Structure 1
Amino acid sequence: MNDTIALYDDKRWSQRNKTIKYDNLLYHKIMNLKKMVQT
């Protein structure tokens, strides 16, 4: 039972990490675009 929960939690955690990484990439892209627009 506990193993199943741990596995599920692990999947959820990796999914969250992927989302955070994606958000960071998006953030940097937007910041770069803003810099390009400013100069």
Structure 2
Amino acid sequence: MTSSNDLNWILSGFAGRLPEVTQAIAVSVDGLALA
């Protein structure tokens, strides 16, 4: 299983490159928040 720290850098990089993105969240298939 992937820890939330492993996903944080992906989401931070994505949000940092796109000025329109103010928030990002990763969810599992069942809708539980991962990061």
Q: TM-score, normalised by structure 1?
A: 0.37
Q: Could you say which structure has the larger radius of gyration?
A: 1
Name the structure, 1 or 2, with higher relative contact order (CA <8 Å, separation 6+): 2
TM-score by length of 2: 0.40
